[in-house]
């Protein structure tokens, strides 16, 4: 990631249409937020009127509703159930097609990579993409298709003007202002004029900005944008204390809270599906009727499923308590050992989309409270 001198400009809200056109002309498939089925999802955007104009969201644990804002803001809401991982790390992907040929196997086909432009990437989502970059492109084995998708990726970030009811990006150091990893970043200004402060974060971004009608940003514009981000930061729906969280969770595998949360958890895997960093997948092999051509598909999987940990004879994690512990410990603690950072970006999706409203920040606080009371030592078990 380069950190060039950021160029700042102001463009009128209507210039979004031109932005979309420029991206399409450059061969990108443009994806952005749009309303469907009562939620804001990411889909192909070709016109700005497909954006959720004047829409806001009300989020709480286990609750998500769209509402009307009464204004014309294009990005007046927090994040929806989907994240950009559905494009960069698709839910279903064919890894290869292979066929029998004489005395060997021959590969028919490889994987596909699309040139994506993402419009509306929030700071927490940028962080999530960076986290998945570490997983798929930063280890001893890399996912080549993921790397190609990322290489060709054009990212337009949006600095949140609204903090969601379950957001805690500030606690995770992941927002609300986007500071890196974007080609362009927009801050929506709803003053006398409906405008965007545009920051170019790369050469490609500067190139696209040059094709749009804009004027240089004045100090007042920059201050107005800063105020938007400051306001969002001050209104986070949740907070979590991450001090020592790595050892807190790994040292307390027998904490009674795991049993308690398991009484509520349905093991439905929603949290892993909506989480922007969860990356677990499973493999499915198929062959055609003649058994001459076979394919392998990779699809999203979740550590909450019973057979996720199946080894000859049975699963390792048979109890919900063990699976919830696995997910939460991995996300907030083991991820640090594996990839050097937390796996959580504080987007709040797992809280919003949990059907019973389990809140990862609340669970952390509960474990911390009684673990500390016992002098920090693990009880029994370890």
- Identify the residue among 8, 202, 270, 333 touching another protein (CB under 8 A): 333
Which residues are CB-neighbours of 277 under 8 A, at least 6 positions away? 85, 128, 131, 132, 135, 331, 335, 343, 344, 345
Residue 308 DSSP class: G
Helices (H), 269-319: 270-274
Whole-angstrom CA distances from 303 to 7, 204, 300, 310, 327 are 43, 38, 10, 11, 7
Asked if residue 207 binds another protein (CB under 8 A), the reply is no
Element (H, E) at 256: helix 256-264
Q: x/- string (CB under 8 A) for another protein, residues 144-173?
A: xx--x-------------------------
Q: Measured from the CB atom, is 64 or 335 closer to another protein?
A: 335
Q: What is the DSSP letter of 333?
A: I
- Residues 215, 286, 374, 379: which binds another protein (CB under 8 A)? 286
Peptide bond into 380 cis (omega under 30): no
Per-residue mark of binding to another protein, 98-137 (x: CB under 8 A):
x-x--xxxxx-xxxxxxxx------------------xx-
Tell me the C-alpha distance between 320 and 309, whole Å. Answer: 12
Phi and psi dihedrals of 54, rounded to 5?
A: 70, 15
d(CA 264, CA 344): 22
Which DSSP state fits 56?
E
Q: Which of 168, 279, 304, 324 binds another protein (CB under 8 A)?
A: 279
21 binds another protein (CB under 8 A): no
Among the listed residues 38, 68, 70, 141, the single contact to another protein using CB under 8 A? 141
- 253 is a contact residue toward another protein (CB under 8 A): yes
Pick between residue 234 and residue 282 the one whose CB is nearest to another protein. Answer: 282
Nearer to another protein among residue 122 and residue 149 (C-beta) = 149
Rounded to whole angstroms, how far apart are CA atoms 66 and 121?
19
Binding segment (CB under 8 A) for another protein, from list 48-56, 161-169, 197-205, 306-314: 306-314
User: Binding residues for another protein, per CB under 8 A?
Assistant: 26-29, 95-96, 98, 100, 103-107, 109-116, 135-136, 139-141, 143-145, 148, 250, 253-254, 279-283, 285-287, 291, 294, 298, 301, 303, 308-314, 316-319, 321-322, 326, 330, 333-334, 337-338, 381-382
């Amino acid at each position: 990631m380069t950190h060039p001198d950021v160029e700042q400009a102001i463009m009128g809200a209507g210039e979004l249409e031109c932005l979309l056109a420029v991206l399409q002309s450059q061969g990108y498939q443009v994806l952005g937020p749009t309303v469907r089925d009562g939620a804001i999802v990411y889909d192909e955007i070709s016109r700005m009127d497909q954006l959720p104009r004047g829409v806001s969201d009300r989020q709480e644990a286990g609750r998500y509703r769209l509402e009307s804002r009464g204004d014309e803001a294009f990005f007046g809401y927090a994040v929806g159930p989907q994240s950009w991982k559905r494009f960069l790390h698709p839910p279903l992907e064919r890894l290869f097609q292979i066929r029998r040929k004489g005395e060997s196997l021959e590969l028919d086909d490889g994987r596909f990579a699309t040139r994506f432009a993402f419009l509306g990437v929030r700071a927490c989502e940028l962080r999530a993409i960076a986290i998945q970059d570490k997983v798929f492109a930063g280890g001893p084995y890399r996912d080549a298709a993921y790397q190609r998708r990322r290489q060709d990726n054009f990212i337009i970030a949006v600095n949140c003007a609204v903090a969601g009811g379950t957001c805690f990006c500030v606690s995770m150091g992941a927002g609300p202002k986007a500071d890196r990893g974007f080609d362009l970043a927009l801050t929506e200004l709803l003053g006398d004029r409906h405008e965007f402060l545009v920051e170019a974060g790369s050469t490609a971004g500067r190139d696209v900005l040059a094709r749009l009608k804009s004027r240089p940003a004045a100090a007042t514009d920059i201050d107005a944008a800063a105020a938007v981000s400051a306001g969002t930061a001050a209104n986070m729906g949740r907070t979590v204390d991450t001090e020592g969280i790595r050892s807190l969770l790994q040292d307390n595998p027998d904490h009674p809270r795991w049993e308690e949360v398991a009484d509520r958890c349905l093991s439905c895997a929603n949290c892993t599906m909506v989480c922007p960093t969860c990356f677990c997948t499973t493999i499915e092999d198929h062959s055609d009727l003649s058994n001459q051509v076979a394919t392998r598909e990779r699809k999203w999987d979740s550590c909450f499923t019973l057979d996720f940990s199946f080894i000859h004879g049975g699963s390792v994690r048979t109890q919900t308590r063990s699976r919830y512990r696995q997910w939460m410990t991995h996300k907030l603690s083991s991820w640090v050992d594996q990839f050097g950072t937390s796996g959580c970006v504080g987007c709040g999706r797992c809280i919003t989309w949990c059907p019973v409203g389990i809140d990862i920040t609340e669970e952390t606080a509960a474990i911390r409270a009684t673990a500390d009371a016992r002098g920090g030592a693990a009880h029994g078990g370890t």
